[in-house]
Chain A
């Protein structure tokens, strides 16, 4: 390496840097604090010259939100993350925009792929965001146990929230007496999709009891119309969760919500007789001959994306019923490739509709299984503007834009029903609001080793064994429950 080369390089470098280095100097002091992936800081964001809403609004019922609306936190920055990317990211930003405009706060949303892992490593690395979406209360409890979450009960109007939300949601955000999160979004899982036109053509009626449902299944087989059920649980790294949802729905219907809550809290053994009985009930559909399209092999080998393919077969449905949550239409053939809902080939409500998964035991009534997303606050994010945002997310307005676009259900019962303009939410919300009881997805509530571990893999093994060895498998899950 000759010296000349070196000098030339340094000169070139300095020329480049000098032309931008000057700007770089002054801008970096402010710019540095605005780097999103870096630590959460509270210095003034630059260039966000938004104005606050002029007129003094009536009180929202939340202290910090009122202050924010009055423009007290204008110019501050809040960092919020969730797993929503692409279309959902757009919708969430739509929902956040009114807050941004009214308060002048720079709300920076980041959608993270591989969400659980990404969030976990950020928290472990002292780089937690201000607010983060959490789908499993078990996860929330874990973070709370690590001492990184803020107990909001000191300043949050929890009573108001408890009044407004579907019963049980606030309890899920609590550990002992501390409240760690606010529920924002929910899903309803106790529904069964079916192809409308062929269904009516064949003269079938929607079942309102479990027995009617199994009778209808037998009818379909007898009529030679293919197999009644489309079931597939392959889900790459998350294999098995579909099966756990089924079991939970059945436990809710046979043993009631009180037992259900004891079950996931491990106040009763995992393999209690009630659970084994529920498994029996499930076997009657999953492992009955000819009930499932593709047979037993298909259940473990079919990816959840492909499960509904036979339902929309142009030659007529090869399977008729898919029990799956309200977001499944996105995966149906003809919809998968299409970002714009208006252009879907098989839109929910037209090509396919759903009925409520019937109750089993009339004494228990009609419970609903669901899941949801809450937002938690990390300790470094405990600032008034962040509190304001969290309160905003608890209000109906916090999700209004998203609700109106479609694909969102709020756990807040005060949301005006006419905001729900699109199917299926128009029909789901009544089911949710009128349910006799609400059970939250148990596998999200159990400790991760079980809820995302042995419960999942246990169900996969159970299916692979075609329903044999129920007692051993469930006993193993019980044995694997972490101590303490």
Chain B
């Protein structure tokens, strides 16, 4: 009787970026070396665990369970101690390509849909008045606490009634639902701090509330949008529980995490394949992070308010 992981690791948390209103700050030149050393130490400490597994992913299972991964550095160029077998097993496993594509089909909309819903909602909460605004907002933020395990069973029943299990739309909506409180929280935080002046200048563009939203607020909110997009993408890409429950294991729709879990075997026999599997799976989120990272920070409001 074995049981495996049930949920993706990254948990839902939020962010609050303040709006940068100045040009790039120049940092102090003195004591730069201390900073560099500390950064190096922390960086290395953080990477060692992952590096260990990275090295292990190139070792045969026999070696992995009998000697530490650092022993390869005794003879780093002795190539007989490395193998590509783990990667080849993972990459050529049946339906692995399909699973990869399925993960993309699931993750991209499951990131964009909550962003869209939340952007509209956050804008409305921040810049329009309507009855029930405070109450609804408090409820939405309060929902941050709900652990998704609580929703699984009732939702599954609902889905069963509407024939939504095993469909992409079903899982998009589920992920959207679970990610919305955080999305609204992040985006509201950001949008509410945009200076009023930008709306003053908007009248030149003959804007309606809708176009003000699409042409002004959205572009200005890229840091917040990017921040949430990164976290949501990671979370959905690495999720196992929701995909297992709402999508299933049929190769037509199974995602990467589900396929990798199956690869390990009913009793976890091929657990060492997870070393290679983890890295194969990590590539896309890493790319996403590196791409969206630059939107985080630099002041983009500089100058748009004047005149």
Contacts and interface: CB of A to CB of B under 8 A. Distances in A.
A331 B265 CA distance: 11
Interface in A251-287: none
Contacts of A127: 156, 159-160, 165
Given A126-B160, A305-B268, A452-B1, A110 B245 contact: no
A337 B60 contact: yes
Contacts of A115: 266
B62 interface: yes
B110 interface: no
A125 B65 contact: no
A110 B249 contact: yes
A125 B1 contact: no
B-side interface mostly: loop
Contacts of B65: 305-306, 309, 333, 336
Given A238-B2, A452-B1, A113 B249 contact: yes
B165 A110 contact: no
Contact of A1 (B85, B153, B214, B245): B214
Interface string B251-288: 01100001001111111111110000000000000000
Contacts of A114: 3-6, 240, 244, 261
B152 A121 contact: yes
Contacts of B60: 337
Contact of A237 (B4, B261, B267): B4
B223 interface: no
Interface in A314-361: 327, 330-331, 333-334, 336-337
A36 B248 contact: yes
A249 B192 CA distance: 67
A237 B2 contact: yes
A85 B62 contact: no
Contacts of A84: 266
B266 A83 contact: yes
Interface residues of A, number: 47
A191 to B, nearest CB: 17
B92 interface: no
Contact of A309 (B66, B161, B261, B264): B66
A111 B262 CA distance: 8
B266 A125 contact: no
Contacts of A121: 152-153, 156, 245
Interface string B139-180: 000000000000011011101110101110000000000000
B98 interface: no
A116 interface: yes
A118 B245 contact: yes
A88 interface: yes
Scoring A85, A331, A334 by chain B CB atoms within 10 A of each residue's CB, the highest score goes to A85
A39 interface: yes
A327 B240 CA distance: 27
Contacts of B271: 305
A448 to B, nearest CB: 10
Contacts of B159: 125, 127
Interface in A1-41: 1, 32, 35-39
B161 to A, nearest CB: 7
A306 to B, nearest CB: 6
B3 A237 contact: yes
Nearest to A36: B250
Interface string A116-130: 111001101111000
B255 to A, nearest CB: 12
A291 interface: no
Contacts of A87: 265
B89 to A, nearest CB: 8
A444 interface: yes
Contact of A110 (B248, B265, B272): B248
A124 B157 contact: yes
Given A112-B249, A136-B1, A331 B269 contact: yes
A241 interface: yes
Interface in A366-394: none
Contacts of B211: 1
A84 B267 CA distance: 9
Contacts of B264: 113
A320 B2 CA distance: 25
Given A37-B250, A110-B249, 7 more contacts: A114-B3, A117-B3, A125-B159, A235-B2, A238-B2, A309-B66, A337-B61
Instruction: Report the 3 A-B pairs with minimum CB-CB distance, sorted nearest first.
Output: A125-B156, A37-B166, A37-B248
